Structure 1
Amino acid sequence: MEGVSSNRNMSYSRWSYDSTLDDEGSNLRQQKLDRQRALLEQKQKKKRQEPLMVQSNVDGRSRARRTKQCEEQAPLVESYLSSNRSTIYHGISSSMNFDEEEDDEDEVSSSSSQLNSNTRPGSATSKKSCKEAASASTPPISEPAIDVDDLEEFTLRPAPQGITVKCRITRDKKGMDRGMYPTYYLHLEREDGKKVFLLAGRKRKKSKTSNYLISIDPTDLSRGGESFIGKLRSNLMGTKFTVYDSGQNPGKTTSSLEATNLRQELAAVCYETNVLGFKGPRKMSVIIPGMNMDHERVAICPRNDHESLLARWQNKSTESVIELHNKTPVWNDDTQSYVLNFHGRVTQASVKNFQIIHDNDPDYIVMQFGRVAEDVFTMDYNYPMCALQAFAIALSSFDSKLACE
């Protein structure tokens, strides 16, 4: 009996020893993961200090208060309200015209002699005095509040003309697999400081290409859920992206009823390499559907790849679409970095920071996006873009294949 008892004690002590080893191994693995995460964060922080990142132009803001106050403080949208020009985007007249009144005959005749379907007027200039321009940059008290009662309708509706919709994106990396598949949340920033949830997005696992699902429910990011509102999908290289709404894939429709609900392409994004490869500021082309005379988005529902937004853009068949690009950052010798004037909305350097404009109207920022903290980014958009388009474009900039950190 003593021998049996001794064997039991030995067995128990061996089990305790093995358990201790497992605990120590688990602790060591966790410590190693923590060290790797800390090193990665330090490396990313150091990278953001490098000159090849795009920084907010602080000098530009101070210069605006001094010598170029009138020019720099001219509002991005309100300047259109004082101008009676029509803006033509590849044959879509008045697609971004913010004045409801008809043009004078003299102005129409003079502009028509200079413009064709492939050209637009130059950048907007405000005729207001410096004092008027400065006051106009502050939204008037009577400005209507942005209505988000119907979340799905709001996220698909173009921004109100004359109003910049200011939003914030937060990136959640916490959890078992969110280091690889973070969840992104888009909130509307109200004037009173409150935030209103708009959209959530997350990359799908086990997908051959980058594929982000977008939902109006932060707790339901499934493809078959009722809250699914759209998706962002990349090509194999991870350099071209297409944004879809929640309609049916034409290649998978099996009935005439489904064919009436074909998905729309809401945007396409193409990232180009420049002379510095991926080391310098990115070059982006953004293609979105044009607007009709009633300021409604033209429905682009391709039945095959040849009718897609990317195919139209590559074939230069740009009727009924708007081609936009990122604003080229300016090299600043004083700071030894590329800079853009984000008007105080961006505070940290990052290759992700960008502004989207039309080439012939560089003062009108259709969308801007940039870092303000480790996992916090601001995202502002204007007419004719909607929240879903802007959020999906921002998600494309996070994609790992772009080497964005």
Structure 2
Amino acid sequence: MYVLERRSMFWLDDEEKLFLTQEIGYSSVALTGTDAQLGEMENLEEFVLRPAPRGMTMKCRITRDKKGMDRGLFPTYYMHLERDDDRKVFLLAGRKRKKSKTSNYLISIDPTDLSREGESFIGKLRSNLMGTKFTVYDHGVSPIKAQGLVEKAHTRHEMAAICYETNVLGFKGPRKMSVIIPGMNLNHERIPIRPQNEHESLLSKWQNKDMENLIELHNKAPVWNDDTQSYVLNFHGRVTQASVKNFQIVHENDLDYIVMQFGRVAEDLFTLDFNYPLCALQAFAIGLSSFDSKLACE
């Protein structure tokens, strides 16, 4: 058994954005012992909304299903958690809605029910008209549609915002990606972000540099490799094929702590690994945005 020490774990208090570092001991059990630490997922809805356990990497697979009449244009995506015994546990499914002006993905905890009205609807991912900015919501009610007191008490949370931009090399170079998520309190719980209008949204706050109770993450800049004549990142064997969709998400204060990594291993198979403070829904939606982004041309 080996132990790794790594500086990590950030959270925000009510007054200002803080990025605290602490020494966390990682054992081989903590890194791979998902079965022992996760236990049985009695409540899948609760599980996919809960931040990953601190000190433990959640290793997942994303499968893209293009089979069927219209799935070439509207694939279904499935996220499974990889267990130690090589079995896979279903977590989430997502599919783009057909009659939306912008990209709009429904996310469900039932692989057979991807309807907005279904009981398994857990969240959605919506883009702007340009397809370069995305917002992740839970299954709450839109503040515009909330009528009675009950609905207003259950207005939706914003779980994340994702922004893509080209770099000086345009489409030929690695793209830049920013991820904004709610901060964490002293109990390592997500601080609720429930905007009542556009000005209170994650994207607006980020653009106005109002980062109280928010965390800003970025993709790790890849390094040019003369041998392969391409930009590369070290995925430690979890990614096996080159793709513009491959990325790692980090915080600028700790570039060695990989909050999330995503990459291709086959034509329609991708690995997605995430750590605290992300939950499965946030990580899955960030992955979906990578498939959809107008800058994700291949």
In the other structure, the counterpart of 1:290 is: 183
C-alpha change, 1:175 and 1:382, in structure 2 (3 Å) is same
For 1:222, which of 101, 109, 115 is the aligned residue?
Answer: 115
2:259 corresponds to 1:366: yes
In the other structure, the counterpart of 2:67 is: 174
In the other structure, the counterpart of 1:79 is: 6
Instruction: Give the Cα–Cα distance (whole angstroms) in 1 for the partners of residues 222 and 3 of structure 2.
Output: 20
Corresponding pairs, count? 297
3-state SS of 2:231 partner: strand
3-state SS of 1:384 partner: coil
In the other structure, the counterpart of 2:285 is: 392
Instruction: Give the Cα–Cα distance (whole angstroms) in 2 for the partners of residues 355 and 365 of structure 1.
Output: 7
Residues 322-341 of structure 1 aligned to structure 2 (within 5 Å): 322-341=215-234
Name the larger-Rg structure: 1
In the other structure, the counterpart of 1:189 is: 82
- Higher strand fraction: Structure 1 or Structure 2? 2
Q: Gapped runs of 5+ residues in structure 1? A: 1-72, 94-116
The question of whether the paired residues in 2 share the 8 Å contact of 1:121 and 1:360 is answered with no
Residues 120-199 of structure 1 aligned to structure 2 (within 5 Å): 120=19, 139=32, 144-199=37-92
| TM-score, normalising length: structure 2 | 0.92
In the other structure, the counterpart of 1:253 is: 146
C-alpha change, 1:141 and 1:198, in structure 2 (3 Å) is closer
In the other structure, the counterpart of 2:194 is: 301
Alignment RMSD (CA, Å): 2.4
Q: Render the CA deviation track for 1:1-40: whole Å, top value 9, x for unaligned.
A: xxxxxxxxxxxxxxxxxxxxxxxxxxxxxxxxxxxxxxxx
The question of whether the paired residues in 2 share the 8 Å contact of 1:186 and 1:197 is answered with yes
Deviation at 1:400?
5.7
Letter in 2 for 1:79: R
Residues 34-49 of structure 1 aligned to structure 2 (within 5 Å): none
In the other structure, the counterpart of 1:319 is: 212
- Higher helix fraction: Structure 1 or Structure 2? 1
C-alpha change, 1:146 and 1:319, in structure 2 (3 Å) is farther
Q: Render the CA deviation track for 1:153-210: whole Å, top value 9, x for unaligned.
A: 0000000111100000000001110000000000000011000100000000010000
Instruction: Give the Cα–Cα distance (whole angstroms) in 2 for the partners of residues 267 and 180 of structure 1.
Output: 25
Instruction: Give the Cα–Cα distance (whole angstroms) in 2 for the partners of residues 90 and 332 of structure 1.
Output: 37
Instruction: Report sequence identity in percent.
Output: 70
Instruction: Give the Cα–Cα distance (whole angstroms) in 2 for the partners of residues 189 and 393 of structure 1.
Output: 19
Instruction: Give the Cα–Cα distance (whole angstroms) in 1 for the partners of residues 117 and 267 of structure 2.
Output: 32
Deviation at 1:404?
3.1
Q: Render the CA deviation track for 1:216-239: whole Å, top value 9, x for unaligned.
A: 011110000000000000001100
Letter in 1 for 2:235: F
3-state SS of 1:370 partner: strand
Deviation at 1:333?
1.4
Deviation at 1:142?
9.8
3-state SS of 1:379 partner: strand
Letter in 1 for 2:147: T
The question of whether the paired residues in 2 share the 8 Å contact of 1:121 and 1:361 is answered with no
| TM-score, normalising length: structure 1 | 0.69
C-alpha change, 1:144 and 1:91, in structure 2 (3 Å) is closer
Q: Render the CA deviation track for 1:353-380: whole Å, top value 9, x for unaligned.
A: 0000000100000000000000000000
Deviation at 1:403?
3.6
C-alpha change, 1:256 and 1:328, in structure 2 (3 Å) is same
3-state SS of 2:144 partner: helix
